[in-house]
Amino acid sequence: MMVFLVSFISVEMKSMHCAPLFRQLVFSRSLHYSKTIFHNGRGLTSTSESEMSHFNALASSWWDVNGPQRILHKMNLLRMDFIHDTIRQNLKLNENTDDEVYIPPFSVDLLPQGIKNKIDEDQEMRRDEILNDSSLTVLDVGCGGGILSESMARLSFVLSVKGIDLSADVLEAAKLHKQKDPMLKDKLSYTLNAIEDIPETERFDIVTMFEVLEHVDYPSRVLLEGLKRLESGGWLFLSTINRDFVSWFTTIFMGEHVLRIVPVGTHTLEKYINQSEIKDWLQEDSNRKSEFRVADTKGCVYLPAYGWKFTSCPDVGNYFMAIQRVK
């Protein structure tokens, strides 16, 4: 599950604006191989023995914010912002209430500043009210040592979080760290399960799959199983990596071989998935097309002097995606 760092090449992304020439810097054999893997949904959740051994080796240092997982700890801030902002901005403000807030059928930027501020303030207050009355359930797939699981469990509008993973070693690290915060005792649980082990009758308001799909053998199957476990109106949040030169350079060449942030072999270029492939996969099946929508996709990049930040280019490097079940 990993992430990456960067260098000058990250800064240059802004000036490239996802140029067509740059998008052509893809390894053609890897492109075909990964498409085949992603669309093969027949297998169960699994990952290679070598990748599993890498994660097991990281278990003891998972919660060391200055250790091998330091980039992941920093990325967690961006994850939480993405989840919180997406849910907040997509709330139905006038549903199940007689006290409606004004939502103009045009851009509020066209209004005088004072009126605009009042409308924005009323809408934000309504969002606060809705979230404060919410009790959302969360399934964190590929939870690892629990970095995201713990953060989600501490949100006031989250009722419970279930973290699942295939590595007993990293789950043990998660359980041990959970004990340091008594408030997590009844809100957060961990189990050694694959996603298909969770009964389809058990539904969640939020399913997360951060840095998961690029490590499993059948990503479309894993994604589909996650979508099946969403409540109507629920959200699936994921992050993974585009299959391009920037991704290879930052995650494999620099991350594994030069800076040694993660063990060599943690990532496999052929398993990276372009964000367009996930969108195409959702559209190619009539049931998926009618039941789910991609609400947002954001690129993200790590700048050593700054940390993680969003970019306007989800087609290069790492990206986050929010998928909502609409019916």
Residue 229 DSSP symbol: T
- What is the per-residue pLDDT for 298? 97
- What is the per-residue pLDDT for 266? 80
**What CATH topology corresponds to 8-91+119-325?**
Rossmann fold (3.40.50)
Distances (CA, A) of 308 to 71, 73, 205, 226: 9, 10, 26, 26
Q: In 10 A of CB 160, how many CB atoms?
A: 17
Residue 103 DSSP symbol: -
Distance CA(298)–CA(314), nearest Å, equals 5
**pLDDT tens digits for 21-51?**
333 333 333 444 455 445 554 456 667 777 7
Distance CA(213)–CA(207), nearest Å, equals 13
- What is the per-residue pLDDT for 39? 53
Q: Give me the residue spans of the domains in the chain.
A: 8-91+119-325
Which residues touch 2 (CB under 8 Å, ≥6 apart)? 71, 72, 211, 251, 255, 261, 262, 266, 267
- What is the per-residue pLDDT for 45? 67
- What is the per-residue pLDDT for 17? 43
- What is the per-residue pLDDT for 4? 42
Distances (CA, A) of 143 to 76, 134, 210, 253, 318: 12, 23, 8, 25, 18
Identify the segments of the chain with pLDDT beneath 50. Answer: 1-33, 36-37, 41-42
- What is the per-residue pLDDT for 93? 96
Residue pair 119/102 in contact (Cβ under 8 Å)? The answer is yes
**pLDDT tens digits for 66-125?**
888 888 899 999 999 999 999 999 999 999 888 999 999 999 999 999 999 999 999 999
Q: What would the DSSP string read from start to end of 6-31?
A: --HHHHHHHHHTT-HHHHT-S-HHHH
269 alpha-carbon distance from chain centroid: 19
- What is the per-residue pLDDT for 6? 40
